[in-house]
Amino acid sequence: MAALYRVVHYKGRPSIPKMLNLKKRKNRFSFRKSSRLAPHCMLYEYGRGDMSIHVLAYVHTEEEYSEMVFLIEENELTKDFYIHLNEPHAERNRELYLDIDNQEEVLRQAESLFVEEEYPDENDFLHIYGQRFWHDAGFIVGDRASLTKLKKAIEVALEHEEAKVTMFPSDGEGFDLYIKCMKDDEDWDALASPYHEEMPYFEGAKESHPRNVFKKYKRLL
């Protein structure tokens, strides 16, 4: 079953066991096992109590330049696991769904992080205009690059229920767009209405913020 993994970038080729300070901090993790999926890809499992967290270490080499990417499983242990990372790192503001039992797909997904965008010469702008009130029109305006990114994110949400994609309006101020595929038995009436002008007939209604329907991304919202 696929789980959500957070992408973390390191320059060079650091070693996961050397980077993790597992003995000197509180709430420490213990090493459980590791396996080599490919010459340039290792899978580690660490744990605390009866819970586990998986970390995929993938090395991408291009000519004389090498780059290490860690894919860290997103679960209840992720925040504390980050505390144990000794060396400076940079999140790529991106997540992937990985099924660690499907080795071929894991390697394909990891390598996809280094593939250039399909439309590199386009502006990659997306504007989303919501409804002001009932029956008002909504608008999505984008170029080919941004609409293609949105399409791919929707396909991920259809397969895994949730997705996130970073988009940019024309002023360049980026934002994260979260997409949720609701199940038939989920309560739409509990969600806040999408209209952005004040509507007095909604005053006092017990409505929930849309972030509350996200389960896999709840620790990132």
Sequence spans of domains, the chain? 3-112, 126-213
98: helix, coil or strand? strand
Q: Which of 187 and 209 is assigned the larger pLDDT?
A: 187
Q: Are 73 and 5 in contact (CB under 8 A)?
A: yes
pTM, two decimals, is 0.81
Quick one: pLDDT at residue 184?
A: 86
Quick one: pLDDT at residue 18?
A: 62
Quick one: pLDDT at residue 13?
A: 60
Rounded Cα distance, 113 and 100, in Å = 17
Alpha helices (H) along 75-196: 78-83, 103-112, 144-160
- Residue 146 bridge partners (DSSP): none
Average pLDDT, the chain: 83
Quick one: pLDDT at residue 179?
A: 96
Quick one: pLDDT at residue 180?
A: 95
Amino acid at 3: A
Per-residue pLDDT reduced to its tens digit, 114-125:
876 665 556 789
Q: Does the pLDDT of residue 142 top 80, yes or no?
A: yes
Amino acid at 44: Y
Q: Which of 44 and 67 is assigned the larger pLDDT?
A: 44
Q: Are 40 and 96 in contact (CB under 8 A)?
A: no
Tokens of 39: 């010459």
Q: What are phi and psi of 11, to 5 degrees?
A: -85, 145
Q: Which of 202 and 20 is assigned the larger pLDDT?
A: 20
Per-residue pLDDT reduced to its tens digit, 161-173:
999 999 999 999 9
Rounded Cα distance, 217 and 221, in Å = 6
Rounded Cα distance, 100 and 56, in Å = 9
Q: What is the CA radius of gyration of the chain?
A: 20
Alpha helices (H) along the chain: 16-19, 78-83, 103-112, 144-160
Give Cα 158 to chain centroid, integer Å.
15
Rounded Cα distance, 56 and 148, in Å = 28
Rounded Cα distance, 115 and 39, in Å = 20
Quick one: pLDDT at residue 12?
A: 60
